[in-house]
Amino acid sequence: MGEGVDRAAGAEPPALRAWLLAGLVAAAVLVVDQVSKRAIEHSVVRGEEQRFLPGVQLVNTRNQGVAFGFLPGKHLWVTILIALALVVLLVYFARHATRPLIWLPTGLLLGGALGNILDRIRHGDVTDFVKLPLGWPPFNLADAAITIGIVLLFLLAEQTRRAPQ
């Protein structure tokens, strides 16, 4: 009985479910990222700072580098780096899609990368708008999703590595 009965009852295989969940997370990140960037572009003048929360300012800046402004002005290298990272991520995910929660960091990373890629295609740069204290470079929600996705991916990989075989 097993697998055939589950499919007949409408349950999808675990790998397909993981791809669907990763896609939903990526789509949610992409939408929230793009909507937040357009809101900032229409409400905060470039160079202006608006207090949002204690220690958090909203700004409207442009970034030609990767996350947090690294590699500014290196369009070709940034594009190659992002493409390679996404290929590696998708290959890793395809090989490990049935691992618990692996869809979450994959979706965060894909959604964040796609959000910033859309900006690069449309404007040639990325809109950053969250400014933290202590000289931290401005960033956006796509950058935050990428950062959280990387941390979660490493935590899940480490958890899998340490699990008894």
DSSP string, 77-129: HHHHHHHHHHHHHHHHHHHHTTSTTTHHHHHHHHHHHHHHHHHHHHHSSEEEE
- Pick from 35-39, 73-77, 78-82, 154-158 the range whose average pLDDT is largest: 35-39
Q: Of 6, 33, 119, 143, which residue is the catalytic one? A: 143
- Is residue 7 situated within a structural domain? no
The pTM assigned to this predicted structure is 0.83
Instruction: Determine, yes or no, domain membership for 1.
Output: no
Average pLDDT value for residue range 12-17: 87
Q: Does 138 map to a domain? A: yes
pLDDT in tens, 31-70: 999 999 999 999 999 988 999 999 999 999 988 765 555 5
Domain count, the chain: 1
Domain membership flag for residue 40? yes
Q: Is 143 annotated as catalytic?
A: yes
**Which residue range forms the structural domain that includes residue 141?**
16-162
Residue 128 annotated in active site: yes
Point out the least confidently predicted range of 10-19, 87-96, 119-128: 10-19
